[in-house]
A and B are shown apart, each in its own frame.
Chain A
């Protein structure tokens, strides 16, 4: 992927009669990247943490004794053997709510990053590959969007989408899942700017490389060059920034839910749980568990994702970090 260099191309293109390259020690670039990644301890630990988190989030609810929306008599109870993380203002089990909230937060991260990936890579690749006036125009658009505060954009986007869908579906009223979808799309739509810039920069420099020019001279079509030469070479960097976009989207969703714009009750995400905990702050009684556990879970996940990104960058783009 990122290790694919013009030298490799020359090896492939060497005449059949040439002596074969030594085979015994040669690893593919992907194998070498994996080797580098495995030696990055924080990244491996993070990968393990995220895998466990994913398992818990997917299958945990089947084993939990409490339903996330079940009310009980024990309101704001501190952590105990029965409620491991305590209960909230309505007596709901905090652990169950956190795990359900994790579903939302992780899904938002994945889908939002996916949306930003598609828009960002397409925008950046087209701008960088076509170049000239198109490039200039597309990048100025990115600059202008960059100088609009994204929160305004998100609010407008989410409410507009909501109205559009309500208009299309008639008076059926939109379900919670539809609202979630807007959140995903809205978040993805404001987080692609950096991706576009990075991809454009990469494509711009790749386009001038000898192996691309050689390929052009040999009569390859633009589609083929993009698909075979440009995109595989960009993939490493894109991958790295994707892992860094996931935490920033999760963060943004938490922020919006904290404002009350994202997830609507009784659903929960980490952001709305933290907001709930913050609302219970008062000088008389401190319900620390309502804050510490959701905050801890959010921070731990973001940490893991960031370390994962570092490890990937180390592995896929060795020139960038060190």
Chain B
């Protein structure tokens, strides 16, 4: 029942987000055809705008984007809008004229998903053990060192990490290729650059979560029963201590899977992260709305999964 209610709520939320994004990008000054090779004659521009229905009132454009409704043709006949979101069509790209948004997503999304998932593994792979170690050695040198590394990671964003990694491992030592997306070795530096920053956050969340749990009474009970320290930590403390990391993982994964501008740009990886920034700049309206929707849908679904996993990890949480 709870699940059903949440899923039913997803759709109106996505609708609101799509409408906001739709209006927002059109509010920005300038249009998608400002940067043509030479300034087009007014009638040419008018024709292009008419071709993409940009001359229609906003509500009609939005309905057309959704694919709900009909229009009256020149012959006076009513016909339904073709395509549209309800039919899984994100519309044409205004910047890359020969491609639809679906084309661009279809080409770039697999790359961004792969890279994002690898980066997620890097972030968890460094962050979880680091935070765990800090928590079980609280106040000792391991904790201080680990916490320092975690803060350091938060202070090294992608655009700092990327050029430094390239300089060291691709140019100076030549261990990994400096760009492109071909073999597994091409993925090492981008995934590292993208994931390292987030590993710091995960380590901090993990540490605080574990510290909170380790103080609770059922841990004392478990120890009093004579359980081994490993069993206490892994079987009793870990499922609860990891909860903050789990709730952070939803937004994180949504963020990583939709690509990163800096990493894809510098490493020349053909993902979709570059398109979000570029299409906002060039006012490629359908592309922006499509990408925003993709991100929002991922975020909402992942957050739902996170909330569901709470009930599984923490027996005290039961959804009514």
Bound complex: CA A288 to CA B172 (Å): 10
A259 contacts chain B at the CB level, 8 A cutoff:
yes
Contact A295 B164 (CB under 8 A): yes
Could you say which residues of chain B place their CB within 8 Å of the CB of A264? none
Take A286-B171, A288-B167 as given contacts and tell me if A307 and B28 are in contact as well, using a CB distance cutoff of 8 Å.
Answer: no
Could you say which residues of chain A place their CB within 8 Å of the CB of B292? 148-149, 152
Contact A255 B28 (CB under 8 A): no
Contact A299 B156 (CB under 8 A): yes
Contact B164 A291 (CB under 8 A): yes
Question: Dominant SS at the B interface?
Answer: helix
Contact B16 A144 (CB under 8 A): yes
Partner of B160, one of A162, A283, A299: A299
Bound complex: CA A310 to CA B47 (Å): 59
Partner of B167, one of A160, A251, A261, A281: A281
Contact A251 B20 (CB under 8 A): no
Question: Dominant SS at the A interface?
Answer: helix
Residues 273-300 (chain A) with a chain B CB within 8 angstroms: 274-275, 277-278, 281-283, 286, 288, 291-292, 295, 298-299
| Proximity string of chain A (151-166) to chain B, C-beta cutoff 8 Å, 1 when within and 0 when not | 1110110011011000
Bound complex: CA A310 to CA B152 (Å): 13
Partner of B24, one of A153, A286, A295: A153
A148 CB to nearest B CB, Å: 6
Residues 147-163 (chain B) with a chain A CB within 8 angstroms: 151-152, 154-157, 159-160, 162-163
Partner of A254, one of B152, B154, B159: B159
Residues 260-277 (chain B) with a chain A CB within 8 angstroms: 261-262, 266, 276-277
A102 CB to nearest B CB, Å: 15
Q: Which 3 A-B pairs have the closest CB atoms?
A: A302-B155, A278-B163, A163-B29
The contact sample of 5 A-B pairs, CB cut-off 8 A, is A152-B288, A156-B25, A159-B30, A160-B29, A247-B155
Since A163-B29, A281-B167, A306-B155 are in contact, a sample of 7 more A-B pairs with Cβ atoms closer than 8 Å, ordered by chain A residue number, is A149-B291, A152-B24, A251-B157, A259-B261, A286-B167, A299-B160, A303-B152
